[in-house]
């Protein structure tokens, strides 16, 4: 098995993210940890391999907090090796993976199997969610503390798997047991069923945001916020998608948002809008919850710019081209995205839509804080030697044929982007550089505060 420990490195550059700004600095990394931050050449160790990055941007290691890498169960779509390959090519130093695999990740045995499959086979570090179900709700406090478990995932509305806690009693029971921040897919199951029964004629992807309307999201988030307040359990609301949800966030008391409640967006909800996306891309952009109209997209941008959003995740959920080519509503929901998550947001930074500070906040600092990732999110002495290195001067076009994900396509195919991932460094090792993977893979389980 490859050595899973860290490596020594001396990293120097003129654009390193320190204390909220890009600064000239030198980072000394030993055994995979930053032990010194200083000015270039000041007290530099001569026994370390040196990496000079000049004017490339060196940021804290980015994390994708929401991926479906389909292993075990659906290897034709993705597996842990290919999904993590795509992640590091997209600048991710770690990922958090969802439980709706086959078998479902709802037992200690299923979690241990995933950790075993991923160790030294994934290209980056990882954590796995434990799914909440009626069968395991009493055991969640023990299950969430197992090695490699990043927390608990709840589905309030049916999506692409069999995990479901649709009623308030089950939701409260799950939240009342345990300490980790619980990540929630918030759609209201009774309303989903009612809308589906009301529209039997739905036969085109443009119907998707009608069958899963904004009220589905608003109702579920309102119920979740009430249950979180009642139980005191921290919650993380995944892939928020509507203006009405943003209103609920703004109405929270001071100190709750960013504390007991954290919020996540996806780039596809920020960059695509109905009905045009469904007319142009069909079932390729069908996901749960759905891409909505422009007024919702504008509200999400306003919330991101205002600091109401703490995390951006890709919701990487790949399917084969054949599976996505089935006529609606037969095609499965979900699209790939871990490789384009950071590049899409970097392009928005370089266009002036958001600040680099917000990018670092939602892809590095926010994930580390929300999920208690030991040593991640910042560049400082004692932190892990995890860095995402960007070339702001590069320009490129997203191309299906150049992607690492096994499914081999992206809803953003053909989009021209400014800025590109130059290197991904994990525990002092360069694992991806200028389009090439540098192996062997050495991924290992992250450590989380709730598991101590």
State pLDDT tens for residues 425-441: 999 999 999 999 999 99
Name the average pLDDT for the chain: 96
Banded model confidence at residue 163, pLDDT cuts 50, 70, 90: confident
pLDDT (average), residues 337-343: 98
Q: What residues form DSSP beta bridges with 10?
A: 28, 50
Distance CA 337, CA 320 (A): 14
Start-to-end CA distance of the chain, whole Å, equals: 26
Per-residue model confidence (pLDDT) at position 3: 87
Per-residue model confidence (pLDDT) at position 63: 98
68: CB partners within 8 A, 6+ apart: 78, 97, 98, 100, 101, 160, 315, 316, 317, 318, 334
Q: Which of 45-49, 146-150, 189-193, 329-333 has the lowest mean pLDDT?
A: 45-49
Residue 8 has, within 13 A of its CA and on its CB side, a CA count of 7
Banded model confidence at residue 160, pLDDT cuts 50, 70, 90: low
pLDDT of 353 higher than 90? yes
DSSP alpha helices (H): ranges in 272-410?
A: 276-281, 294-305, 321-324, 341-350, 356-360, 366-371
pTM value is 0.97
CA triplet 51, 53, 59: central angle to 5 degrees? 105
pLDDT (average), residues 199-204: 95
pLDDT (average), residues 23-39: 96
Per-residue model confidence (pLDDT) at position 162: 65
Task: Decide: residue 161, CB within 10 A, 0-12 exposed, 13-18 middle, 19+ buried.
Answer: middle
DSSP assignments along 52-111, one per residue: E-TTSEEEEPEEEEEE---TTT-TTT--HHHHHHHHHHTTEEEEEE-S-SSS-S-SHHHH
Tokens of 222: 């309102």
pLDDT of 282 higher than 90? yes
CA 106 to chain centroid: 20
Per-residue model confidence (pLDDT) at position 1: 72
Banded model confidence at residue 17, pLDDT cuts 50, 70, 90: very high
Query: Residues of 54-63 as b/e, b for ≥16 C-beta within 10 angstroms?
Result: eebbbbbbbb
Per-residue model confidence (pLDDT) at position 88: 98
pLDDT digits (tens, 9 = 90+) for 366-383: 999 999 999 999 999 999
The superfamily CATH assigns to domain 62-371 is Metal-dependent hydrolases (3.20.20.140)
Q: Computed from CA positions of residues 151, 156, 158, 159, in that sequence, does the dihedral angle turn out positive or negative?
A: negative
- For residues 381 and 308, the answer to whether their CB atoms sit within 8 Å is no
pLDDT (average), residues 61-72: 98
Q: What percent of the chain is modeled with pLDDT above 90?
A: 94
Q: Computed from CA positions of residues 359, 362, 365, 368, in that sequence, does the dihedral angle turn out positive or negative?
A: negative
Q: What residues form DSSP beta bridges with 388?
A: 59, 424
pLDDT (average), residues 115-140: 97
Banded model confidence at residue 148, pLDDT cuts 50, 70, 90: very high
Distance CA 415, CA 398 (A): 5
Domain range list for the chain: 9-58+381-447, 62-371
Peptide bond into 289 cis (omega under 30): yes
Q: Where are the beta strands (DSSP E) in 134-248?
A: 149-155, 182-185, 235-237
Architecture of domain 9-58+381-447: Roll (2.30)
CA 452 to chain centroid: 23
Distance CA 299, CA 303 (A): 6
**Antiparallel, parallel or unpaired: β 387-397 and 92-97:** unpaired
Helix (H/G/I), strand (E/B), else coil: 152? strand
Per-residue model confidence (pLDDT) at position 47: 84
DSSP H or E run through 142:
helix 140-143
């Amino acid at each position: 098995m490859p050595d899973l420990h860290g490596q020594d490195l001396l990293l120097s550059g003129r654009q390193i993210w320190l204390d909220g700004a890009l600064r000239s600095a030198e980072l000394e990394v030993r055994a995979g940890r930053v032990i010194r931050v200083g000015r270039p050449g000041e007290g530099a160790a001569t026994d370390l391999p040196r990496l000079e990055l000049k004017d490339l941007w060196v940021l804290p290691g980015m994390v994708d907090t929401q991926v479906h890498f389909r292993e075990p169960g659906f290897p034709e779509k993705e597996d842990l090796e290919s999904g993590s390959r795509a992640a590091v090519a997209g600048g991710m130093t770690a990922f958090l993976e969802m439980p709706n695999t086959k078998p479902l990740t709802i037992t200690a045995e299923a979690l241990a199997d995933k950790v075993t499959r991923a160790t030294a086979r994934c290209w980056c570090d990882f954590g796995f969610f434990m799914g909440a179900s009626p069968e395991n709700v009493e055991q969640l406090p023990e299950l969430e503390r197992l090695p490699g478990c990043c927390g608990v995932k709840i589905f309030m509305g049916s999506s692409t798997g069999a995990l479901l806690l649709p009623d308030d009693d089950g939701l409260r029971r799950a939240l009342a047991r345990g300490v980790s921040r619980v990540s929630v897919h918030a759609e209201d199951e009774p309303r989903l069923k009612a809308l589906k029964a009301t529209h039997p004629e739905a036969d085109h992807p443009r119907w998707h945001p009608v069958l899963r309307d904004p009220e589905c999201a608003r109702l579920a988030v309102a119920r979740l916020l009430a249950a979180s307040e009642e139980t005191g359990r921290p919650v993380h609301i995944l892939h928020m998608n509507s203006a009405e949800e943003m209103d609920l966030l703004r109405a929270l008391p001071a100190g709750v948002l960013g504390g007991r409640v954290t919020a996540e967006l996806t780039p596809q909800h920020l960059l695509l809008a109905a009905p045009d996306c469904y007319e142009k891309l069909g079932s390729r952009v069908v996901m749960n919850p759905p891409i909505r109209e422009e007024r919702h997209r504008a509200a999400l941008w306003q919330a991101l710019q205002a600091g109401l959003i703490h995390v951006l995740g890709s919701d990487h959920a790949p399917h084969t081209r054949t599976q996505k080519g089935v006529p609606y509503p037969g095609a499965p929901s979900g699209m790939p995205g871990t490789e384009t998550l950071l590049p899409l947001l970097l392009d928005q930074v370089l266009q002036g839509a958001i600040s680099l500070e917000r990018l670092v906040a939602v892809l590095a600092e926010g994930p580390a804080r929300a999920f208690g990732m030991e040593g991640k999110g910042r560049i400082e002495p004692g932190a892990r030697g995890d860095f995402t290195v960007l070339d702001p001067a590069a320009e490129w076009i997203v191309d299906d044929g150049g992607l690492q994900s096994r499914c081999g396509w992206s809803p953003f195919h053909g989009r021209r982007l400014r800025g590109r991932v130059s290197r991904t460094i994990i525990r002092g090792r360069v694992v991806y550089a200028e389009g090439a993977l540098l192996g062997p893979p050495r991924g290992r389980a992250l450590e989380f505060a709730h598991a101590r």
